[in-house]
Amino acid sequence: MSISSTFLFSLSGLHAAVDRQAVSANNVSNLRTTGFKAQRATQADVRTGGTKVDSIDSLTHQGPILRTGGALDLTIAGNGYFQVQSPAGVMSYTRDGSFNLDGMGQIVDSKGNVLQPPMTVPPGAQAIQMTARGRVSAVMPDGTLDELGQIQLAGFTNPGGLIREGDNLLRTSGNSGAPFPGAPGQGGLGTLIPATVEGSNVDIATEMVDQIVNQRSFEANTKTIRTADEMLGTLLDLKQ
């Protein structure tokens, strides 16, 4: 292997280690983000030599269920995503079930995106009831129930193919496939657990190990580059 090839291959290893470390750092920073799904970087060899991060995949397994007691908090136990729509009409998907009411009584997420289908709590409602199957009702002052609607979840053929938009929101892609909506508990979609939220599925122990491995990889490639540089310097000195 030539010295120039050594430089290039080791440099690609440096870039791959940095990219993997960035993914792990993002996971750790979202350790306490409701409904967050960790990502894992997959490294592959390049045909012409060297290596690169070939893909960054989402780990879609269930996070811990955290009881909050919040009247509008929801966890999806199983598959599926909440559907929310921004004020601009953009449809997004999320596992973050920490909902509240906006000034018009609509059920919204923390950024003001409206839960779909939209539901409005009437003035004077004493409480809100949500069932595991997604039926939402308001308890009125006289004790009667005012049916507000049915929560619809969205499922995907390949949820790992959803694209991250920021603010804990996801959007569809060609890899995820089109959403197929349905009531909780139907069509392979999970049921709802009221008064809880889903915690982040980041495993801090795994992230710590990955970061140590990434650091060692970075150091090894740096050492190789330094050695190649010294060898090149020696060869140049010999030619003078």
Nearby residues of 217 by Cβ (< 8 Å), 6 or more positions away: 13, 16, 17, 20
d(CA 19, CA 103): 42
pLDDT value for 232: 54
Neighbours of 189 (CB within 10 A): 22
pLDDT value for 222: 82
Query: pLDDT tens for residues 31-69?
Result: 999 999 999 998 888 877 778 888 888 999 999 999 999
Q: Terminal CA-to-CA distance of the chain, rounded, Å? A: 24
Give the CA diameter of the chain: 98
Nearby residues of 2 by Cβ (< 8 Å), 6 or more positions away: none
The pLDDT mean for the chain works out to 90
pLDDT value for 229: 57
d(CA 129, CA 111): 23
Range 185-209 average pLDDT: 96
The percent of residues above 90 in pLDDT, for the chain, comes to: 72
The beta-strand segments (E) located in 69-151 are 74-77, 81-85, 91-94, 100-101, 107-108, 114-115, 127-130, 135-139, 145-150
Nearby residues of 54 by Cβ (< 8 Å), 6 or more positions away: 42, 43, 44
Between residues 79 and 232, which one has the greater pLDDT?
A: 79
